[in-house]
């Protein structure tokens, strides 16, 4: 019973996790193109050489520190949100999110081999990859149902869904 009550929460959590993973997957190539377009390639090479000479623990610091300056940007976004500056808040939080994921992807790409030398980090990394696979397995059936609804596949449509669609169509016609 409790498991059934918590299922929407787990699906929501899985969706959030997958959005993060999707951002990571899609921002990493963008960051790579950005690095290729500006002289960040030389910086990446320089950073990789420096990371090779560090211990795994010091590499962890190199991985964590660049994200810290983005924290005040997120706080500014939440301050804007609290003061009902909706669009500014949305864009500030969005920029902070994209910058955070982009910088983290860039730094993780350079530091990953060294970080994975630490047994606890490797276990954590494997655990997160396992959670990602579980989240995808949990969300995929929901995603298929939503896509079926959006595509207009009438199979499996509940009478409630059809009534909602009819009500929406009527309200659109009445608004004209």
The ranges assigned to domains in the chain are 2-68+101-142
Are the C-beta atoms of 92 and 107 separated by less than 8 Å?
A: no
pLDDT at 140: 80
Q: What integer pLDDT is reported at residue 118 of this predicted model?
A: 93
Most confident of 54-58, 103-107, 144-148, 168-172: 54-58
With CA atoms as reference, report the closest residue to 38 among 95, 105, 106, 91: 106
In angstroms, the CA 28 to CA 109 distance is 9
Long-range contacts of 29-35 (CB under 8 A, 24+ apart): 30/102, 31/102, 31/105, 31/106, 34/102, 35/106
CB 110 within 8 A of CB 28: no
CA dist 105 and 63 (Å) reads 10
- Average pLDDT of the residues in 83-110: 84
Looking at residue 7, the DSSP 8-state letter turns out to be H
User: pLDDT grade, residue 158 (50/70/90)?
Assistant: low
Please indicate, yes or no, whether the overall pTM of this predicted structure exceeds 0.85.
Answer: no
Percent of the chain scored above 70 by pLDDT? 81
């Amino acid at each position: 019973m409790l498991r059934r009550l918590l299922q929407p929460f787990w699906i929501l959590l899985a969706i959030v996790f997958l959005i993060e993973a999707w951002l990571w997957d899609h921002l990493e190539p963008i960051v790579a193109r950005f690095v290729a377009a500006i002289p960040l390639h030389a910086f990446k090479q320089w950073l990789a050489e420096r990371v090779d000479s560090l211990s795994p623990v010091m590499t962890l610091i190199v991985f964590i520190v660049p994200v810290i300056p983005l924290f005040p940007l997120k706080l500014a976004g939440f301050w804007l949100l609290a003061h009902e500056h909706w669009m500014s808040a949305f864009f500030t939080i969005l920029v902070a999110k994209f910058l955070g994921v982009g910088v983290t992807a860039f730094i993780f790409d350079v530091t990953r081999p060294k970080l994975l030398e630490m047994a606890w980090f490797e276990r954590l990394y494997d655990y997160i990859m396992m959670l990602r696979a579980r989240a995808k397995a949990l969300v995929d059936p929901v995603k298929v149902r939503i896509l079926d609804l959006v595509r207009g596949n009438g199979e499996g449509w509940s009478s409630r869904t059809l009534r909602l669609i009819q009500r929406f169509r009527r309200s659109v016609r009445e608004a004209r």
